[in-house]
């Protein structure tokens, strides 16, 4: 009969200490194990080399250590690296390392698939298999950080929850993963370097405010009125713009954290001067940090197209004229389907291995 073992990373350090006391072991042994799990990010009990073989065997007998592994990688011509991670139960999820001259950013996923069905997003055409556990989200960041150090000689500076899935529909695991990323016992990364992006779950945005979170928030807006947003983002039917404006104001009132509006431009759909005026009205109702204009990255299942460069320029100029703090976020990794909205676990990735000249 198969015995289901407890995931050792589900235990707080105090719980590990209690377990070691039942074995007659010293408290510091529990702290050593905790450091191996979170600071050193080992994936096997055998790697805990300052523990006796007997103790490591006891841990393996009592606990499991399910960890993400990098199953495959793709390298973009612009330096972006996409990784396909494999979970302990055989699912796949993608994350992206985005290097620039000033920072290295990890774009991580929160769910395997997605249930929101946004019409312009490749992940939206996938079924949601399950939420990622907090330790699996942590593993993505840890593995992308190791990749950044190995390939580019630099640690991660920023983390964005903009990969597969809706973070606020996996609320507890996302917040727990960020807690461990922030913790001195984990990666000790500042919460100010973390941005969680949501398609707009009003109730949970307010919950973020109640929980006094310290990270930044981005709203995937993408349309300036309810009619257009309903068409491309079904979630808007139950979380309309009026509700989102109210929720975002509450979030800022409770946290004073930065809020960014994300806006993908689609040719002939949301790129007119009227659309820009409507977007300006929304901008003025929210204490938002800026509007990020995002280049659309075509996907197989969607009919949308990217507008011409002069249309983008005019749209942004109109916003700037109306005193909107607007920024163009250029897509990275388009040639390997690693850009915004393109993550979909496609076939054709290469088994994980260093690339000559990059390692």
pLDDT at 337: 55
Residues 319, 321, 322, CA angle at the centre, nearest 5°? Answer: 65
* Helix (H/G/I), strand (E/B), else coil: 328: strand
Per-residue pLDDT tens over the stretch 263-275:
999 999 999 999 9
Look at residue 215 in the predicted model and tell me its pLDDT: 97
Q: How far apart are CA 209 and CA 204, in angstroms?
A: 9
**Span 206-239, pLDDT tens digits:** 999 999 999 999 999 999 999 999 999 999 999 9
Instruction: Give yes or no for a contact between 296 and 304, defined as CB atoms under 8 angstroms apart.
Output: yes
Q: Is 94 a catalytic residue?
A: yes
- Provide the residue ranges of all domains of the chain, joining segments of one domain with +: 12-64, 69-351
**Beta-carbon contacts of residue 10 (< 8 Å; ≥ 6 apart):** 135
Q: What is the pTM of this model?
A: 0.91
What is the distance between the alpha carbons of residues 209 and 304, in angstroms, rounded to a whole number?
A: 35
Q: What is the pLDDT of residue 350?
A: 53
Nearest to 81 by CA among 108, 61, 57, 99: 99
Q: Which fold has domain 69-351?
A: TIM Barrel (3.20.20)
Separation of alpha carbons 187 and 144, rounded Å? 12
pLDDT, position 226: 98
Q: What is the pLDDT of residue 3?
A: 57
**Residue 333: its pLDDT value, please?**
58
DSSP annotation of 125 reads G
12-64: in CATH 3.30.200.20: no
Sheet with strand 104-107: strands edge to edge? 326-329, 290-294, 259-264, 216-220, 194-198, 158-161, 104-107, 92-99, 81-86, 69-75, 350-351
Which residues of the chain have a pLDDT value below 70?
1-3, 331-359
Q: Among 107, 114, 121, 340, which one carries the catalytic annotation? A: 340
> What pLDDT is recorded for position 354?
40
Query: How high is the pLDDT of residue 357?
Result: 33
pLDDT at 204: 98
Count the neighbouring beta carbons within 10 Å of the beta carbon of residue 353. 10
Q: Are 80 and 336 contacting, i.e. CB atoms less than 8 angstroms apart?
A: yes
- pLDDT, position 329: 84
First and final CA of the chain: distance in angstroms?
Answer: 45
Closest to 198 in 3D by CA, of 261, 126, 282:
261
Q: Which of 57, 94, 107, 149 is catalytic?
A: 94
Residue 297: predicted pLDDT = 81
- State the pLDDT at residue 344: 56
Identical fold between 12-64 and 69-351: no
Per-residue pLDDT at 336: 54
């Amino acid at each position: 009969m198969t015995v289901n073992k407890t995931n050792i990373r589900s235990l707080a350090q105090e719980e590990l200490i209690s377990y070691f006391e039942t074995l007659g072991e010293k408290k510091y042994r529990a702290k050593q194990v905790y450091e191996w799990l979170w600071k050193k990010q080992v994936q096997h009990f055998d790697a805990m080399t300052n523990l006796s073989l007997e103790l490591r065997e006891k841990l393996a007998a009592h606990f499991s250590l399910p960890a993400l592994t990098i199953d495959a990688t793709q390298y973009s011509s612009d330096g972006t690296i996409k990784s396909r991670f494999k979970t302990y139960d055989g699912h796949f999820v993608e994350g992206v390392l985005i290097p620039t001259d000033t920072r290295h950013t990890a774009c991580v996923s929160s769910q395997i698939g997605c249930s929101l069905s946004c019409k312009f997003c490749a992940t939206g055409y996938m079924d949601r298999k399950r939420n990622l556990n907090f330790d699996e989200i942590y593993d993505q960041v840890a593995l992308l950080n190791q990749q950044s150090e190995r390939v580019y000689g630099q640690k991660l500076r920023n983390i964005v929850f903009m990969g597969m899935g809706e973070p606020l529909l996996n609320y507890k695991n996302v917040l727990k993963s960020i807690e461990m990323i922030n913790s001195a016992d984990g990666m000790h990364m500042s919460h100010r370097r973390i941005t969680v992006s949501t398609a707009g779950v009003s109730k949970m945005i307010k919950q973020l405010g109640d929980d006094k979170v310290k990270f930044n928030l981005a709203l995937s807006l993408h349309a300036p009125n309810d009619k257009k947003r309903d068409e491309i983002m079904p979630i808007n039917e139950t979380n309309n713009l009026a509700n989102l404006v109210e929720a975002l104001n509450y979030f800022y009132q409770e946290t004073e954290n930065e809020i960014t509006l994300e806006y993908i431009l689609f040719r002939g759909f949301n790129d007119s001067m009227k659309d820009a005026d409507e977007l300006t009205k929304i901008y003025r109702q929210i204490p938002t940090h800026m509007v990020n204009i995002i280049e659309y990255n075509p996907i197989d299942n969607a009919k949308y197209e990217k507008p011409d460069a002069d249309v983008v320029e005019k749209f942004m100029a109109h916003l700037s004229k109306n005193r909107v703090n607007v920024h163009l976020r250029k897509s990275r990794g388009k040639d390997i389907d690693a850009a915004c909205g393109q993550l979909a676990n496609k076939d054709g990735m290469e088994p994980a291995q260093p690339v000559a000249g990059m390692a």
